[in-house]
Structures are given as structure tokens and as C-alpha cells.
Structure 1
Amino acid sequence: MRFLALLFLGCSFALSTHAATPPNVVFIMADDLGYSDLGCYGGEIATPNLDGLAKEGLRFTQFYNTARCWPSRSALMSGFYAQQIHRDALPELGGGGQGVRQKWARLLPDFLKPAGYRSYHSGKWHIDGPVLAGGFDRSLDMKNQGNFFTSAGNSIDDVPVKVPADEKGYYATIATADHAIECLQDHAKNHSGKPFFHYIAFIAPHFPLHALPEDIAKYRDKYLAGWEAMREARYARQKEMGLTNTELSKLEEKVGPPYDFPEAIEKLGPGEVNRPLPWASLTDEQRRFQATKMAIHAAMVDRMDQEIGRVLAQLKSMDAYENTLICFASDNGASAEIMVRNGGHDPKAEPGSAATYLCLGPGFSSACNTPHRRHKTWVHEGGISTPFIVHWPAGISAKGELRHTPAHVIDFVPTVLDLAKIEKPKAWEGEAIPEAPGKSLVPAFIKDETITRDSLWWLHEGNRAIRIGDWKLVAAKDDAWSLYDLKTDRAEQHDLAKKMPDKVEELAAAWQEKTGAFTMLARQTQADQPVSKAKGKAQGKGKGKGKKKD
């Protein structure tokens, strides 16, 4: 009885704290980070700052994104599935990265502003429209995603930057943190009486694999044992941490990048490998090339964590750390893509430098997504699973605990509004706002309980899935449905579709019902979508496969 009483008091304390003082909110998003890349999720990369947040906060084991950059960001900031707001394709309507949200599809800052919040954005945007029009007060929009060593193409407060004659020392990850810190310093000086929301969206570790030489040096020879050894080591640590109870997925040697760019393979040279083949079967040149790419990826994650440490130090210096809800996630799983864009690739240049254009590829992407299957763009668990860290000393009494409830980026908006005691409006400028699908995660902040919902739904480039309870129905584009029991098989190794056709039919009908409802909603404003000059039709109906910027 004494234990139950103490538990009740602890829960009441957490609830009363957030009710009395609405928190500041910081959401940190990585780009193309694998589920197991952080130390606190089983990785060997040095991430002490994020590990520290996890140790003093919560780690969610079943948190999801949308499998791709722009849909995840739109869902995160709006609380709607991207297809509901024209930000990803639907079978009958098309759509995608060029789609424009309905007027009622507001972003989180618009709901926070009436409660006195100021909102800041630092880093990648990739949501439709100018940043400040989304309700933010200040922004660094890193539109340049092809070179980490120049600010060319970026905007500050939606105004293009003037590129200095000498940008020696510029690195995008550092610049993102610099801007975030400057915004926080200004807030402390001029707006200290107001709460703030800060969306910090690092481009790292998205391709091209660009990193500082001193960071690469820390990992140069670390991955020469290969992707199988890396997967096994990470998996063992995950099991020890209690992060997973599934078996380790098998490498799919016939599954390569989602888009085929044979000319890129030729440019990258004989060290490139576009399949997760057995490490022992590779040549010495291939093993060194692949291990070097993974070393650069690790260096990018390492540097991101270092810069996050600087942001945390700023929060502490302005006495805001205790009452700031800090969340961290990735927009999709690690990427199997291999391509050469922007300034091209100089094979003679130092790997990781501005003259190179390298991508992680399917071998080490599989390892980064341990223990799950597949990669970014697929809606198998490897494409949609992300680490999710939540830290809020003033509001969450639990420390170092795991949360097993399935959750999704659509849950962020309702969670913040719940904590800030803000009632979301039913309409915007006379237009009704439809009911959003996300759920507040506040109950899971208090204890490890499952958030009740009817389903979680996915669709991207023909890859589709639905999760109801522990049952997941999933299919790659043009493939038949597969059925998995995620309670024991998040590795998606044991297809139960043939054994349980009734369950397949039930989940398929639920997926189609959701898809139909989203289509009906989007169809209402389909005529307002921009017209592609190249195609003379609503933007996004053409596939343009492999050409999207993400």
C-alpha cells in the first residue's frame, strides 16, 4: 500500500507541475538517423549528450515517423498525416513534396502564439510555405542540403543570406546550433517572461556524407569488421537494455537502394556496393570504402550530439533547462540510397570533404536500423522506427525508463497542447478544422502505459502499412500484404498472412477505410493545389522517382 501511495503521489506531482507552469518546448530532429545509431539505443557512436537526456528522462521503444523527410515534418508540425494535408501522395489524387496545406492545416506555433509562446526554427524546413508564415518568429532555413560546408542558398527569417567571400570554418551542423543558441540568448534577454517553442532540425546525418576531419578520424577504422559484426554488437546491447525482444532481422541481399542510379555507381568507383552482400565476399577496396562511409556517418552523428550539448548548455545558462520539454527523433530510418547530386563527386578528394558526394547505402543502413528490416522510404519497421527521447525535469519524475506504447510524430502537437493547457480551435478563419488523428502522450510520461487508438497508418510511394494493436499489415509497392505480430516479431521475419487470412482481410479493410477517408478530405481542396508547369496537372501526380529533394 505504501508503494502505491508513493506512486500516486509521484504521478500527481508530475501532473500538477505541468498544470502550474506550461513548459518551454524544444524538438530536435535528425535526418536519416537509424534506430540504433545513438548510444542509448544500442549504438557505438559517441552521443553522450543525448544519452544523458535518456538517462534522466524517457526512451520510447516503438515511436514512428512516416518513412520520409517531408511527410514526417509536416505530420510533426501539424498533427495530421501528411496525406490529409496534401503533403504526400494518395492513390487517386497524387501529391507529394510540392503539395500545399489547406488553410485550416495550421502548424503548432499558430496554436501556441495566443498562449504567449514565441516560436523559433533552426535548420531544415521542407514544409510548404515560408517559415514565418507558419507562425514562427525567427528562422534559419537551410535550403542548401547538398553541401555542409557552405551557407549558399539558405535563408534567415525567409530572406536569402549573403554568402561571405570566405566561409572557411562553416559547417551546417554547427551553424544550426549557432542560430538556435543565438535565438535562445535573444529570448532570455528580450522575452524572458514568455515561454518558447524551438524546432531544431539538423540535416545530419543525411547525405552527402560530409563531416569535419577531426570527427571522421575518431571512427576511421572502427567499421572494418563490417556490417554483420556491427549489427550483432548493436543487437546484443539492445537486448541488454531491454529495447527489443525480437530476433535480429536477416540481411536482404537482393534489396538495394530504393531508386536506381547506375551512373552514380560508376562515378563512385569500384569501392561502391549497392547490396548488403556478405562482408567477407567484398574486395579489400570495397571493405575500406564502405567502412569509410560509415565512419563519416558516425562522425556526423557525433558532431550533431556535440552541438546539441551546446544548446543544452545555453538552456541551463538561461535557467530554462528544468522546465523545458526536450524531445529528440529522426524523420525516417537510415537510408539505402546511393546517388550523386549537386557539385558531383571527386573520387580523388578526401572522403567526407565538400568535393565528395557519398551516401551510406544498404549495407550499413541495415546495420544502423538494427534490429529492424528495410530502410527509409519503405514502411517496414526499419523505415519508420526512430529513437524518441523525452526529457523534462520539472514535469517528468521518471528517470531512465522505457516506454513501450506505439506512438507517432502525429502525437507531438496534441501532447504539447495538452501540457500547455491550450484548447485547439475548432475552426480557422471560418473554416472548420477536421479532427486530427494524433493522441496526447502525457499519460505515458507518467507511467509505461499503452495509449489507446484505433490504428497507425502509413503510405509512401506505394509502400503501405497499418498497425492495430500488435498486428501490422505491410507491403512494399506492388507486393502482396504480409502480416506480422509485432509483440514478438518487429523484425518482420515470420509472415502470418497465409495462416491468418481473416486477420489480413480485417486490417486491409481498415487500411482502405483510412485511405478512402483521407482521399475524401484531400479531394475537397484538390483544385487549390499548384499546377506543375512541366506536366500541366496538379503537382505531384507525376512520379518523378528518384528526383525528390529530401
Structure 2
Amino acid sequence: MSILQSKAAHQPPFSKTLMSAGLAVAALTLSTSPITAQATGTLAGSKPNILYIIADDLGYSDLSAFGGEIRTPNIDSLVKSGRILSNHHVSTVCAVTRSMLYSGTDHHLVGEGTMGAPNDERRGLPGYEGYLNNHALSIAELLRDGGYHTYIAGKWHLGSLVNSSINKTPDQWGFEKSFTLLGGAASNHFGHDTSAQKTYTENGQYVSLPATDVSGQPWYDTNVYTQKIISYIDADHGDGKPFAAFATFTSPHWPLQVPEPWLSQYSGWYDAGYDVVRNRRLLRQKQLGLVPNDYTVASQTLPDATSASPATANNGKAAASYINANTVETGNLLNVDYGPGLVDPVWNSLTPAQKKTQARYMEVYAGMVSNLDYNVGLLIQHLKNIGQYDNTYIVFHSDNGAEGWPLSAAQDTINASNFNNLGKDQTLRPSGSAATNIQYGLRWAEVSATPFRLSKGYTTEGGTSSPTIIHLPGQTTQYPTLRDFVHIRDVAPTLLELAGISQPSTPSANVGVNNLPLVVYNGRDAYPITGKSYLSELAGLNTGPLHTEAVGEEQYGRAYLRSGQWKALWVEPPLGPADGHWQLFNIVNDRAETNDVSASHPDIVNQLYQSWTDYLHNTGGVEPLRPLGYY
């Protein structure tokens, strides 16, 4: 599809196309075929290629195939010859997810106990280095040593080139060819960085960005990452070796920016506001069979907050008493202190100017998603052009929940006064005009998270549920939605089984944190892979459940523990319970986390809490004395 065709496909106004698009995707999803040996036969033959695509901060419902109104025809086409994973979970933030994706084990063990080194009492502890540490395995290294070409273009966020002894760039972790943004976010998706700024590396060397990409268009990161992956594949094509290419896009992460024609595609689509768009998405998700028909929306959104709720009297003082996920063990629930709440007005509390600005934020965001879809289409079409599509395992998912960075009224005022600059390359804005480095805020994040609760940074379903689509080699029809719970730690063992490569298993004479066993690989001690391969489930050879054991998480002091039908959840006040108790949800029937049943099942809560403390101990994790989100 050309850019002009892509633009034409997006012209109909939102109100006229929403329901027809929903019914079309619903028909697509229901038109499934029985799983045959077609795909599994390919798995048993020559080693398949791997194309692993990651979006950055994409919400659960943004894709058309997951209920969104944003046009994503190329990703929808991937669904037609693949399958949706509706219960795939990542971590709450990007670097932590990526550490588990590449290592196949818990993030506390491999250096990302928090996203970056913590600024609290955990700083300096093992597992809190803030980069992928030397005890991590790397799926890229394992695939390379197993006969694969390995490429990455896009976001890295797991370390940088500090000095000769601390070099954590992708080329040190098994990637033969790499072009990466080292940090967590670009200051400008249109580039302009120089090598002196040390933001981008290619094959381990800092690089300056050119003004244009290989097609002569202004440099824009999503387009360039695609071009890099294609060039890497082409350079080795025909040498008989399979490839594993990781396209780790930074879209639609803030700052919200996208070139034309995508910048103007969605003009007027979001003027109806948060609730209208969210309810329409929920309706489409019901039609698609992604959520039960009795799901509601009103209980999932945060209350109207035109001003911040006050902090407690002792907050920030020596006399303060903070609670964390372990407070239930000590019983210390007196003098619970916490900071102020967030300004988070509902649509009807906004002024006309604020509504116009907020709608524009979402228009730009939607344009970024459509541009991302266009680039996914280029990658898939290229595989077809070179005859490799039928022998390629393709994955698409987001790295965490929707980005809900809180916005202030002052930010909205500045952006409203510079409305015509929103979403553009800020280096080209008119002289004297203010910069507009925009996010889309908590309310649009709630829309992106539909039907789930909260967003990025939280251990709720809205923070950890990732829209995921997988295409098996040789697959030509859509397989039924896989609803079993799978986790980002499961990726590495799945890719290794697909590639016919054994997991490292040579025991080390040394032990890790809390006497955990280590394995030896390439002369160094590493934590073994703890995820489970779900390849058999994808091929229809096993019906699960994949995880019969409890699965836990901790990030920023927020926590969850899943076991069977239950999920215990801890979030600090004021968004969590004021008394600091662990909530309990029947996660099979209530993934929206609307009905806290902890008061009715205190024995289950206690059992899950004990399992969570075991999890934290067994991974070297430490609950902070005062939980604080990355916002």
C-alpha cells in the first residue's frame, strides 16, 4: 500500500465508519478454520525466520482487531493468517518488559528491578543496576549461536556504552546488526540527534542522524527503523541462514508526532470525548468476542478531578507513616500518609478550548498508530517479495499498557495557544512559538486500556495486558483466539523451541541471589530461563493452561499474584484502597477488576500474599518502604 493509498483508506469520518469497521473485523474473527498440520509441518522442517515487532505504549484497545476505531489494515491482515492472544501479559513499564523478553526470566534477577536504577533504599542492590546485567541470558545471543542472523532496529532501553568495562549496547548481547535508540524515549521522533548526544548507536558506535531517510523523506524514526530492518535482511538474504529481526518501534510513545499524511487523517474523529469513544470500543470488543457482553465501562474510569486531592498532613515529613504491600503482614495501618492526587477532569469538566486540544492529542496519537501499521505492512510485504513470508514466525505486541502521563491545565493552555504546531517536528516550528512536547494524558489512556483498569506503571490489567498477534510459519487462515494466560518471560523459550535450540542447562558451581542456581553459558554465569514455551498452544497441540504455578510481579512497589482463577492486587493509595489492603479479583470472570472480593475470601488473600512474598524472595526483589510510581 502506498502512502497515498494509506491516506485514502483513512478519510471517512469517524462517526460513519466505526460500526461498519467493527462488524467487518467481527466477521474476520469468526471466520476461522480448524488447525491443521499446515503450520506445524513447517515448524518441524527448516529453521524458520523470526520477525518480532514491538510497539511502545500501545493500549489494549487501540488496534482495530482489538476494538479500536484507528485504522490498522496491515495488522488486521496479520490476524487473518495468525491468531490473537487476548491474555498476553507484559510488565508495567518498557525496560522491565524488555529485560524479561530477552532473558526469559524475572527482571529483578537481570538488572531491571526498577526501570533504571532506583532512587530509594534499593539503589546499589543486586538486580537493581538499571541495565541488563551480566547474569542475564540473551535470546539474541542464543539464536546467533544457534545459526541465526540477528538484527535489531528501534528502542533498546537496557543499557548504553558507558566505558570499556560497562558496554551494554545491543551488539554486546548477540545482535549482529543494530541501530537503536539507547534510552527510553526520543526527544523528537524526527531526529536531529548528533553522535555527541549519545542517543543512537549503530553496531555499537554512536551516530549522528541524517536529515532524510533512504527514500529522501524527512527522517522519522518509525520509517527509518523499518528501512534498517529491511536493509539488514537484504544484506544477508540468500546465504542459507535464517534471521531473527527485532523491530522495536518507539511509536506511539510520546512525544506525539507523526508526518503527513497521518498527522491530518483523524481530524474531528475524537470531538465526542473520552466516554463516547471508550463505549464504542467496548461495544466492538463485545462484537469481536474479546470481552463478555456484561462488561461495563463506568466502573473502570477514575472519578472527576478538576483539582488535585490533598496530600495527608504528614506527607513528606519526618512523622509520616507510609504503607506498602507488606503492611498486611505487620498490621501497621495507622497514620497512612500519601501525596496529592492527580488533576484528571472528565470530558464535561473541560472548557471548549481544552476539549479541542485534548481531541487533537488523540488525533495525533491515532496517526502515529496508523503510521506504525503502515510500516508493519512494509515489513510483511517485503517478506512476501523475497519469498520468506511463509517461513517466518511473526509476533506483534505492545511493551506495556497505555501511557497515562498526567497533564496539567497549564500544559493544555500552552498547547492550545500553539495548536497548529501539535504533532509536528518541533525544530521547524515558527520562531518564538512555544515547544509542544505532547502526551495524551490519563483520560485517553483509559480509552486505550478499554476495558481494563488504569494504565502503564500499574499492576492492574490495564497496565500489563498487551494486544498480541502471532503468525506461525505456513499459516494461511486465522486460528481461534488464544485466551490462556501467557507472560513475557515465555517468549524466549518459545523462540528457542521454534528454532530447535536447547536452553542453556550446564549448572554453575556458583549460586545467585538467595542461593538461586545459575547456568554457565559462553563462560559466564547466568540465571536460567524460567518462562514456558507456548509454541504447542499456538499450533493447537496443547490446550493448556500453560501456567499452573503462581505468577507474580512487583514494580514501583505495586504488585500482583495470579494463581488459577484468582488475582491478588496491591496498589498504593490514593488510587489503591486507603487502608492499604490487598484486593482480590476472580480474574477469569472479572479481568476488568471491578469487584474486589477480598473481604469474602481473607484466607485466599493471605495465601496469595504469602506466595507473592515467596516470589519476591526467590527473585531478589525488595519491596520499597514507600511505593512511588514513575510519574
Using structure 2 for the length normalisation, give the TM-score: 0.74
Q: Residue 319 of structure 2 aligns with which residue?
A: none
Q: Residue 442 of structure 1 aligns with which residue?
A: 535
Contact 2:453 2:592 in 1 (8 A): yes
Contact 1:322 1:393 in 2 (8 A): yes
Mapping for residues 489-504 of structure 1, pairs under 5 Å? 489-504=590-605
Query: What is the alpha-carbon distance in structure 2 between the residues aligned to residue 434 and residue 92 of structure 1?
Result: 24
Mapping for residues 255-274 of structure 1, pairs under 5 Å? none
User: Do residues 419 (structure 1) and 444 (structure 2) align?
Assistant: no
Mapping for residues 107-126 of structure 1, pairs under 5 Å? 107-126=138-157
Q: Deviation digits for residues 294-335 of structure 1, max 9, x if unmatched?
A: 111100000000011111111111111111000011111111
When residues 321 and 240 of structure 1 are mapped into structure 2, their CA distance, relative to the original with a 3 A threshold, is same
The alpha-carbon deviation at position 140 of structure 1 amounts to 0.8
Q: Residue 158 of structure 1 aligns with which residue?
A: 204
Q: Secondary structure at the match of 1:84?
A: coil
Query: What is the alpha-carbon distance in structure 2 between the residues aligned to residue 46 and residue 257 of structure 1?
Result: 35
Query: What is the alpha-carbon distance in structure 2 between the residues aligned to residue 487 and residue 93 of structure 1?
Result: 34
Q: Residue 223 of structure 2 aligns with which residue?
A: 174
Matched residue type, 1:418: E
Q: Residue 17 of structure 1 aligns with which residue?
A: 42
Q: Residue 138 of structure 1 aligns with which residue?
A: 177
The alpha-carbon deviation at position 158 of structure 1 amounts to 1.8
Q: Deviation digits for residues 466-515 of structure 1, max 9, x if unmatched?
A: 11122101111363210000111111010010000000011101111010
Q: Deviation digits for residues 380-418 of structure 1, max 9, x if unmatched?
A: 000000111001242x46514200010111111000111
Contact 1:74 1:127 in 2 (8 A): yes
When residues 316 and 223 of structure 1 are mapped into structure 2, their CA distance, relative to the original with a 3 A threshold, is same
Q: Secondary structure at the match of 1:502?
A: helix
Q: Residue 352 of structure 1 aligns with which residue?
A: 423
Matched residue type, 2:535: V
Q: Residue 26 of structure 1 aligns with which residue?
A: 51
1:363 to 424, 443, 454: 443
Query: What is the alpha-carbon distance in structure 1 between the residues aligned to residue 35 and residue 189 of structure 2?
Result: 45
Q: Residue 205 of structure 1 aligns with which residue?
A: 252
2:386 to 315, 318, 328: 318
Query: What is the alpha-carbon distance in structure 1 between the residues aligned to residue 394 and residue 157 of structure 2?
Result: 21
Query: What is the alpha-carbon distance in structure 2 between the residues aligned to residue 165 and residue 40 of structure 1?
Result: 35
When residues 236 and 545 of structure 1 are mapped into structure 2, their CA distance, relative to the original with a 3 A threshold, is closer
Contact 1:93 1:541 in 2 (8 A): no
Query: What is the alpha-carbon distance in structure 2 between the residues aligned to residue 174 and residue 115 of structure 1?
Result: 30
Q: Secondary structure at the match of 1:312?
A: helix
User: Do residues 71 (structure 1) and 96 (structure 2) align?
Assistant: yes
User: Do residues 386 (structure 1) and 435 (structure 2) align?
Assistant: no
Q: Secondary structure at the match of 2:393?
A: strand
Q: Residue 262 of structure 2 aligns with which residue?
A: 215
Q: Deviation digits for residues 236-278 of structure 1, max 9, x if unmatched?
A: 11111111124434211268999x9xxxxxxxxxxxx965533
Contact 1:257 1:336 in 2 (8 A): no
Q: Secondary structure at the match of 2:470?
A: strand
The alpha-carbon deviation at position 166 of structure 1 amounts to 7.0
Q: Deviation digits for residues 47-82 of structure 1, max 9, x if unmatched?
A: 011111112111011111101010001111111121
Matched residue type, 2:503: K
Contact 2:556 2:628 in 1 (8 A): no
Matched residue type, 1:182: S
Matched residue type, 1:75: M
When residues 429 and 446 of structure 1 are mapped into structure 2, their CA distance, relative to the original with a 3 A threshold, is closer
When residues 275 and 325 of structure 1 are mapped into structure 2, their CA distance, relative to the original with a 3 A threshold, is farther
Contact 1:235 1:371 in 2 (8 A): yes
Contact 1:256 1:336 in 2 (8 A): no
The alpha-carbon deviation at position 433 of structure 1 amounts to 3.9
When residues 151 and 177 of structure 1 are mapped into structure 2, their CA distance, relative to the original with a 3 A threshold, is farther
Contact 1:141 1:158 in 2 (8 A): no
Greater Rg over alpha carbons, structure: 2
User: Do residues 279 (structure 1) and 347 (structure 2) align?
Assistant: yes
1:52 to 77, 82, 88: 77
User: Do residues 231 (structure 1) and 326 (structure 2) align?
Assistant: no
Q: Residue 184 of structure 1 aligns with which residue?
A: 233
Q: Secondary structure at the match of 2:98?
A: helix
Contact 1:76 1:412 in 2 (8 A): yes
Query: What is the alpha-carbon distance in structure 1 between the residues aligned to residue 67 and residue 88 of structure 2?
Result: 16
The alpha-carbon deviation at position 84 of structure 1 amounts to 1.6
Q: Deviation digits for residues 438-483 of structure 1, max 9, x if unmatched?
A: 1101121123542133122111101100111221011113632100
Q: Residue 304 of structure 1 aligns with which residue?
A: 372
Mapping for residues 475-490 of structure 1, pairs under 5 Å? 475-477=570-572, 479-490=580-591
Q: Secondary structure at the match of 2:537?
A: helix
Contact 2:130 2:158 in 1 (8 A): no
2:609 to 508, 513, 535: 508
Q: State the number of aligned residues.
A: 502
Query: What is the alpha-carbon distance in structure 1 between the residues aligned to residue 495 and residue 212 of structure 2?
Result: 41
User: Do residues 404 (structure 1) and 483 (structure 2) align?
Assistant: yes
Contact 1:293 1:360 in 2 (8 A): yes
2:453 to 363, 369, 373: 373
Q: Secondary structure at the match of 2:604?
A: helix
2:110 to 51, 71, 85: 85
Contact 2:104 2:137 in 1 (8 A): no
Contact 2:137 2:527 in 1 (8 A): no
Using structure 1 for the length normalisation, give the TM-score: 0.85
Query: What is the alpha-carbon distance in structure 2 between the residues aligned to residue 170 and residue 101 of structure 1?
Result: 29
1:250 to 274, 280, 300: 300
When residues 37 and 506 of structure 1 are mapped into structure 2, their CA distance, relative to the original with a 3 A threshold, is same
User: Do residues 473 (structure 1) and 568 (structure 2) align?
Assistant: yes
Deviates more, 1:246-255 or 1:231-240: 246-255
When residues 435 and 139 of structure 1 are mapped into structure 2, their CA distance, relative to the original with a 3 A threshold, is closer
Q: Percent of counterpart pairs with the same letter?
A: 29
Query: What is the alpha-carbon distance in structure 2 between the residues aligned to residue 119 and residue 518 of structure 1?
Result: 29
Contact 1:104 1:428 in 2 (8 A): no
Query: What is the alpha-carbon distance in structure 1 between the residues aligned to residue 304 and residue 407 of structure 2?
Result: 18
When residues 542 and 193 of structure 1 are mapped into structure 2, their CA distance, relative to the original with a 3 A threshold, is farther
Q: Secondary structure at the match of 1:386?
A: coil
The alpha-carbon deviation at position 120 of structure 1 amounts to 0.2
Deviates more, 1:165-174 or 1:298-307: 165-174
Q: Secondary structure at the match of 2:300?
A: coil
